[in-house]
Amino acid sequence: MEIARSTKNKNIRLVASEPAVRPYVEPLSTIDLFCGAGGITQGFHQAGYNCLYANDLMPEAIDTFRHNHPSTRAECKSIEKVNAADLRQSLGIQRGTLDAFVGGPPCQGFSINAPNRFLNDPRNSLFRHYARFVEEFAPKTFVFENVPGLLSMADGAIFEKILHVFSELGYQLSVKILFAPHYGVPQERWRLILLGSRFGEITHPSPTHFAKGRANFRGGGSLTLQPNTADAINLAPAVTVGEAIRDLPRLNMGEGAEEVGYTIDANSPYALRLRSPDGVTFNHVAAKLSKQNIERMQHVPPGGSWRDIPHELLPRGMQQARKSDHTKRYGRLNFDGLSSTILTKCDPHWGTVFLPDQNRTLSVREAARLQSFPDNYRFLGSRVSQYVQVGNAVPVLMATAIAKAVREHLEGNVTANATTVAAHG
């Protein structure tokens, strides 16, 4: 399903202008709200964009963002307290000139009972403020990312309301649910990607890698891009866990450091691409496990899960679970397959975090590799916070693919003869 709408808002008008005569000059400009540690901004940076401003409420995530993107004005402040007009003026940005507005407001507060009033519900203030910024800056394009489950809320009424809000702001919209392995990310992760433009519909990036994923959610049949077997001939094979992490230094539980040098040669183009040119990487520490989890881990083969653990060794709650439930818990990765979704905690009770050939769990660096962060991207804060930052991020290579699609769209419309400007009064 492609969604395209364009209407006028009382505060915005479309006026004719002379065709643009200059080509786009590197870099294109972005603003990133709810930026976290900077997965989207890193992906857009790799596609030739410069982030002018970023905002998030998590101090450690902003510390990480600032460390890796020092030229960006990154602010740890409640979005409700940021005056969009004052910010735009302080950045020296005229309305309608920002190339891309990116971000994904958390969706936990979206009301399922009163979709027509959800903008007035204080629990939904994060989306309301995202829309407020889009209205003030009137960017040429925007990228709104979220979880696919957003489509199911109130039987789809919430998402329809979101589409209506952006349409009223003068944007033509297109929506897809993208699968991270299609863009070279070695991880089963789905993201809802809504693209908006004032110049027509943006085409979502086509898959570059062949991978099959189980889209068991609303929109899985109509909104996903699913290459068939014939497409595999023209696409690169999916990047595997082994290609992603096998070259990182081997560790025993309790070993590692916040800065470590490579001890093994890169074993794949993916690893070579992500390696730091300085010969060192960061955040590679193997956590210690409880005695019970060490014993459980011994019984789980590569690709296995809690179902391989003897019944008497399972936690009491898991002893009552059906074999078909919780299939990722106490899981061990398989070098020849994809990782399951990287979570915000590296706890075997919640996901697949055991290494294929080492009796330990993923380090922050290994989790970041599976999220396609380059090795010189350093995460700051406590170890717990680092896992949260990595797990919350949009995979970098998926963001890069989206950024390239937006860039192609913009470059194809540099002669567009309509621009959005303020209509005050």
> Catalytic amino acids?
107
- Residue 170 · residue 228 · CB < 8 Å: no
3-class secondary structure, 43: helix
User: Which residues in 310-332 are b (16+ Cβ under 10 Å) and which e?
Assistant: eeebbbeebeeeeeeebebbbbb
CA gap 76, 361 in Å, rounded:
31
Beta strands in 123-268 (DSSP E): 141-146, 172-179, 190-197, 209-210, 236-237, 256-261
Peptide bond into 27 cis (omega under 30): yes
Using alpha carbons, select from 105, 101, 40, 98 the residue that is nearest to residue 79.
105
CA gap 112, 91 in Å, rounded:
37
Residue 193 pairs in a beta bridge with 145, 176
The alpha carbon of residue 135 and the mean position of all alpha carbons in its chain are separated, in whole angstroms, by: 23
| Token output for 155 | 């039987």
Using alpha carbons, select from 146, 139, 154, 151 the residue that is nearest to residue 101.
139
Using alpha carbons, select from 239, 238, 164, 176 the residue that is nearest to residue 203.
176
CA gap 132, 150 in Å, rounded:
20
CA gap 16, 254 in Å, rounded:
64
Q: Checking phi first, is residue 104 left (phi over 0); if not, alpha (psi -120 to 50) or beta?
A: beta
The alpha carbon of residue 247 and the mean position of all alpha carbons in its chain are separated, in whole angstroms, by: 24
- Between strands 352-354 and 100-103, the pairing is unpaired
Burial of 365 (0-12, 13-18, 19+ CB in 10 A): buried
Secondary structure (DSSP) of 203-232: PPPPPSEE------STTTTTTB----GGGG
